[in-house]
Amino acid sequence: MSPAPAPPRDVRAYLDELVRRTRAVCGPHLVSVLAVGSLALGDYRPGRSDVDVTVVVAPSLPRRALPDLAGALAHPALPCPAAGLELVVYPAGFAARPSGEAGYLMDLNTGPSLPERVSYDPEGSPAFWYVLDRSLAHQSGLPLFGRPVREVIAAPERPAVLAALRASVREHAAGEGHVADNRVLNGCRTVVYCRTGHWCAKRGAAEAIAASEEAFRPLVEDALRSFERPRESALPLPAARVRDFLDWVAGRVDEAAGAGGGHTGPR
């Protein structure tokens, strides 16, 4: 696998400052800081992508440090150059073992295009987002500080990933709060994972599905064109076709689960 391209200069400077502030708050309790999501997969798009970061800390981190960290990293105290920052903090013991649970200590969403949110209670959040993020992090996470990715983030077992993908498809099928093109492109990435056990960038997954699934090619190509635009000017996509596509994606996830998981994916 070729390394992901370096992020834009403003994002690199932002990540450097994020790491500096995280080290200042967490001190010797900080184990690792990793870039995940589109940055890790080499598909970061200015005006469209979030900055996704995973932080791993020692269980001895004082609880009071978490609100301090949220305050230090929240936009605009630390101005986010992307659509938003999605940052999750895990305790090292939890992150190092496979799990189908959310398991975080803190989940922070902040930035110019994201609703502000900070949570310290994983029981109140759907677990599937975090299972998928850790699966992708184990495969492709970019180290920004500390111990290597594979030493700190365990890959969730494939049945847990498939269950999380099924929940993700249900969430995207509901549509609320999701841009239509992103719903389609996430569906493409889901199918490629089911077929290969490997996470790839949304655009690469969409190109693969457009090439192999003639019936959905026009919808996927429209989603790719829309994805080139900022979120605020995304193109409308036919709702019925998006629903049909996501129904098809759900079927592919069910097939993969019914086949006993198929590919084991990278470890």
Q: What percent of the chain has pLDDT over 90?
A: 89
Residue 56: alpha-carbon gap to chain centroid? 16
Q: What tens digit of pLDDT does each residue of 154-194 get?
A: 999 999 999 999 999 999 998 776 899 999 999 999 999 99
The 10 Å Cβ neighbour count of residue 59 is 10
pLDDT at 250: 98
DSSP 17-77: HHHHHHHHHHGGGEEEEEEEHHHHHT---TTTPPEEEEEEE-TTS-TTHHHHHHHHHSTTT
Q: What tens digit of pLDDT does each residue of 28-54 get?
A: 999 999 999 999 999 999 989 999 999
Phi, psi of 90 (to 5 degrees): -120, 145
Q: How far apart are CA 137 and CA 153, in angstroms?
A: 7
Q: How far apart are CA 202 and CA 186, in angstroms?
A: 6
Q: What tens digit of pLDDT does each residue of 119-164 get?
A: 999 998 999 999 999 999 999 999 999 999 999 999 999 999 999 9
Q: Is residue 155 within 8 Å of residue 141, measured between CB atoms?
A: no
DSSP tag of 143: E
Q: Is residue 163 within 8 Å of residue 257, measured between CB atoms?
A: yes
| Cross-strand pairs, 57 | 30, 91
